[in-house]
């Protein structure tokens, strides 16, 4: 069984394997992750009649988002890695958006601009070409961003606010070059085996202008 943990925004857990989802917990209002993470995991295991020894691997969402929450989830995963001798993996929300988006363009070399909502009119931003991240994550404000520079790029957004803003702008991207990515922790279920070939210990991602 695989455990997926996302503490970048509240507390989100998923217990699954190749055949089924055993349990899914989502609470975006939680702020005391460090105090309740282990309790929530243990309570969840009891609900599905499982225990720690049933874990075969742990996947962490390592940002962007709450630095404290992400650190907490990584610390827990490292403890499990040592005590259970199981691999742990880390993926960013940017990677998931890039991986699972079915691009509308036939041009594989197209640059994909990924925007993930942070607070108010501020968005986390990073750029990808194919599976390669070509820009360090940073925070951009909608009103300060020159979208004319992105008119030939595919824009991937997770919040309707972004589209509403673009509608009021002139000379922006063609609507066909925009797509909403609905982030869900369940997306990790479809990760291809190739993404588990290289084992590494996840670290929180650092966002320019934030940390």
**Overall number of domains in the chain:** 2
Q: CA-CA distance, 157 to 18, in Å (whole number)? A: 28
Separation CA 151–CA 155 (nearest Å): 9
Is the domain of 58 the same as that of 13?
yes
Exposed (0-12), middle (13-18) or buried (19+): which is 146, by Cβ within 10 Å?
exposed
Same domain, 120 and 70: no
Whether residues 6 and 35 fall in one domain: yes
pLDDT tens sequence across 160-187: 888 777 777 654 556 567 788 888 888 8
Q: Quick one: pLDDT at residue 177? A: 75
97 within a domain of the structure (yes/no) = no
- 176 falls within a domain: yes
pLDDT at residue 17 above 60? yes
Residue range 46-102, pLDDT digits in tens: 999 999 999 999 999 998 988 899 999 999 999 999 999 999 988 889 988 887 675
CA distance 60 to 76: 10
pLDDT for 143: 82
Element (H, E) at 71: helix 67-84
Which pLDDT tens digit goes with each residue over 25-47? 999 888 898 899 999 999 999 99
The reported pLDDT for the residue numbered 196 is: 61
Task: Enter the pTM of the model.
Answer: 0.85
Clarify whether residues 87 and 106 are in a common domain: no
Interacting residues of 30 by C-beta distance below 8 A, sequence separation 6+: 10, 11, 36
Give helix then strand counts, H and E, for the chain.
4, 11
Least confident of 6-15, 49-58, 112-121, 196-205: 196-205
Same domain, yes or no: 58 and 108: no
The rounded Cα 51 to chain-centroid distance in angstroms is 26
Domain boundaries, position 78: 2-92+185-196
Contacts of 128 (CB under 8 A, 6+ apart): 94, 98, 111, 112, 114, 134
């Amino acid at each position: 069984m695989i455990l997926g943990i996302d503490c970048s925004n509240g507390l989100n857990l998923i217990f699954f394997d190749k055949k089924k989802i055993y349990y899914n917990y989502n609470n975006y209002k939680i702020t005391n992750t460090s105090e309740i993470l282990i309790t929530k995991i243990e309570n969840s295991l009891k609900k599905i009649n499982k225990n720690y020894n049933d874990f075969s691997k742990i996947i962490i969402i390592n940002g962007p988002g709450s630095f404290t929450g992400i650190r907490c989830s990584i610390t827990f995963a490292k403890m499990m890695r040592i005590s259970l001798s199981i691999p742990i993996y880390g993926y960013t929300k940017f990677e998931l958006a890039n991986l699972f988006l079915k691009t509308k363009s036939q041009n594989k070399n197209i640059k994909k601009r990924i925007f993930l909502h942070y607070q108010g009119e501020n968005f986390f931003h990073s750029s990808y070409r194919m599976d390669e991240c070509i820009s360090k994550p940073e925070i951009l404000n909608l009103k300060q961003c020159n979208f004319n520079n992105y008119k030939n790029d595919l824009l991937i957004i997770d919040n309707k606010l972004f589209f509403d803003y673009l509608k009021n702008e002139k000379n922006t991207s063609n609507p066909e070059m925009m797509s909403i990515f609905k982030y869900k922790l369940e997306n990790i279920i479809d990760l291809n085996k190739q993404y588990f070939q290289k084992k590494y210990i996840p670290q929180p991602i650092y966002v320019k202008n934030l940390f």
